[in-house]
Structure 1
Amino acid sequence: MTATPTVRAAARRSGRPPLKPTARQPRRRSAVLTVVTGVMLVYAILPLAWLFISATKTQEDLLGTFGLWFGGEFALFDNIADTFTYQDGIFGRWVLNTVIYVVVGAGGATLLAALAGYGLAKFDFRGRRAVFAVVLGGIAVPPTALAVPTFLLFAKMGLTDTPWAVIIPSLVSPFGLYLMWTYSTEAVPNEILESARCDGAGEFRIFFKLALPLLAPGLVTVLLFNLVAAWNNFFMPLIMLKNADLYPLTLGLYSWNRQANTVGGDVVFDLVITGSLLTIIPLTVAFLMLQRYWQSGLAAGSVKQ
């Protein structure tokens, strides 16, 4: 690769030889990093492989064969059919309950976090620092510490053993609010907001028409966090719900697994494992579909302009 005429002419005027372009440096490879990555990959994949292999076994093969190899009979489809028909098909009801809790709870929590985070980032008002302290305090407090007070409050209101006992607590996401607050500060230029206000647009119209599209990457990040939290929610339904028809998947599979410890209870470990495999599929699909938005949302604000 040679220097261009312009570069050569400039070099002659300055009396210095033209700079030669340097070759692109090869990427450095680290054997230690490769080994560590391989170990982490095995650590992440091995439980999933065991879960899939175990879901293909009958009850007898599950208890009598090696865990990381298939049994004598491939019973995956039979196990799936039995999972959806056991106890009059209550597993399908649990799937529907979980979808409702996730759509209303995680979706509502994401929208509220976006509204509150945008408002805290773009509006100046008294008590802003106090709100910031409360949000950080909400992140620091573990959910289990609030479980008993929440149960007592809902019991006084008569909301225990209802879907609202699971949905309402999941609508509050301090971590999601903090993420949307920090993301809104950089992602939504103040000049756009001022221009829209000068044109007579209202604040809600500005948020939904202008700010919300700009907040999409951060919104997807918060949605994924809330989706995982709502889908895997176990402790709150455990203390709030008694009616098995209201159980989410996590609590329903736990009740099936607990049957083995009761006198005269059915041992359905094969159905518990098959149900667990079916439970992780929607989360895996959601992460694969929204991965690029999630990565861009996490990286926002990492580089100062």
Structure 2
Amino acid sequence: MHRRRSVVLTALTALVAIYSLVPLFWLVVNATKTQQGLLSSFGLWFGDGKFALLDNIRQTLTYDDGVFVRWLGNTLLYVVAGAGGATLLATLGGYGLAKFDFPGKRAVFAVVIGAVAVPGTALAVPTFLMFSRMGLTNTPWSVIIPSLVSPFGLYLMWTFAAQAVPDEMLEAARIDGAGEFRTFFRVSAPLLGPGIVTVLLFTVVATWNNYFLPLIMLKDPRWYPLTIGLNSWNDQAQTVGGQAVFNLVITGSLLTILPLLAAFLLLQRYWQSGLAAGSVKE
């Protein structure tokens, strides 16, 4: 029975891996083709023509006065300010809710759970109407400020801090005369490392791939993130005579996912160290 379950789980894992890796493989393969090669061999294998990956990257970075680089810079700005700020606020809020008692804590918990259940797209239009009254639309703030709110990140840090930080350690630090800020940064923050990295990755991915919010907030192409910019190129490629940028859309999509892959590879060791630390009992 256990062996049969193992075979089934292995097969399901293999199917999920294939489902996830085939689009990435398709993207890599077609990013190496010229525009003519895409029209003649648009498939899952390399064409017989020129290996044009480097030329495609150069064209992508220089097309339309290097607007792709501008979109990349905008995306990094939204990620650093929005995702970084959301992680900081979720960490501080989750730690405070987990380790301090105050009136109305149950009500806060209900609000957080309710906020997790509400999809972000449902709040995009009301947020746009509010920001338009404040004169913040078509500015970076219209993307950064909503990105600072991460109910799921707050809930995750709340539950993680409740288990990862022993109350005895906090009491010992307070008895030694450490203030709350010093206790948090010297005692609690190292223990919260795996949770912070998890929330950071979730918020980075959400902000990096954010499409609908900047779509309704931004009208100036100079402030577009990569998602909106590449979509504008794709719309151009669908028009008559616009297919000349189709190779740029594919290459730009490949370049867009590389930073996310790098972030996961660089930060996975913090997950592994956190899991290993949690599995050892004194």
Indicate the TM-score class for this superposition, using the shorter chain for normalisation.
over 0.9
- C-alpha separation in 2, matches of 1:69 and 1:59: 15
Q: Which residue of 2 aligns with 1:114?
A: 91
- C-alpha separation in 1, matches of 2:173 and 2:185: 12
| Superposed displacement of residue 87, structure 1 | 0.4
TM-score normalised over the length of structure 1: 0.86
Does residue 123 (structure 1) correspond to residue 100 (structure 2)? The answer is: yes
Higher helix share: 2
Kept in 1: contact 2:30–2:42 (CA 8 A): no
5+ residue gaps, structure 2, are: none
Kept in 2: contact 1:83–1:271 (CA 8 A): yes
The structure with more radius of gyration: 1
Does residue 199 (structure 1) correspond to residue 176 (structure 2)? The answer is: yes
| Superposed displacement of residue 260, structure 1 | 2.8
| Superposed displacement of residue 194, structure 1 | 1.4
Count of aligned residue pairs for this structure pair:
279
* Identical-residue share of aligned pairs (%): 71
Matched AA of 1:93: R
Does residue 59 (structure 1) correspond to residue 35 (structure 2)? The answer is: yes
- C-alpha separation in 1, matches of 2:276 and 2:128: 37
Q: Which residue of 1 aligns with 2:145?
A: 168
Kept in 1: contact 2:81–2:144 (CA 8 A): yes
TM alignment of 1:180-219, pairs within 5 A: 180-219=157-196
- C-alpha separation in 2, matches of 1:300 and 1:28: 30
Matched AA of 1:229: A
Q: Which residue of 2 aligns with 1:244?
A: 221
Does residue 159 (structure 1) correspond to residue 131 (structure 2)? The answer is: no
- C-alpha separation in 1, matches of 2:113 and 2:277: 20
Q: Which residue of 1 aligns with 2:81?
A: 104
Q: Deviations over 1:43-72 (max 9, x none)?
A: 111111100000001111112214111121
CA 1:34–1:201: 2 relative to 1, 3 Å: closer
| Superposed displacement of residue 198, structure 1 | 2.1
Q: Which residue of 1 aligns with 2:22?
A: 46
- C-alpha separation in 2, matches of 1:274 and 1:298: 36
Kept in 2: contact 1:121–1:181 (CA 8 A): yes
| Superposed displacement of residue 304, structure 1 | 11
Q: Deviations over 1:133-174 (max 9, x none)?
A: 000010000111101100011101100011011100000000
Matched AA of 2:160: Y
5+ residue gaps, structure 1, are: 1-26
Kept in 1: contact 2:86–2:149 (CA 8 A): yes
| Superposed displacement of residue 77, structure 1 | 0.3
| Superposed displacement of residue 294, structure 1 | 3.2
CA 1:301–1:214: 2 relative to 1, 3 Å: closer
CA 1:128–1:200: 2 relative to 1, 3 Å: same
| Superposed displacement of residue 33, structure 1 | 3.2
CA 1:257–1:114: 2 relative to 1, 3 Å: same
TM alignment of 1:17-96, pairs within 5 A: 28=3, 30-71=6-47, 72-96=49-73
| Superposed displacement of residue 263, structure 1 | 6.1
Matched AA of 1:59: Q
| Superposed displacement of residue 195, structure 1 | 1.9
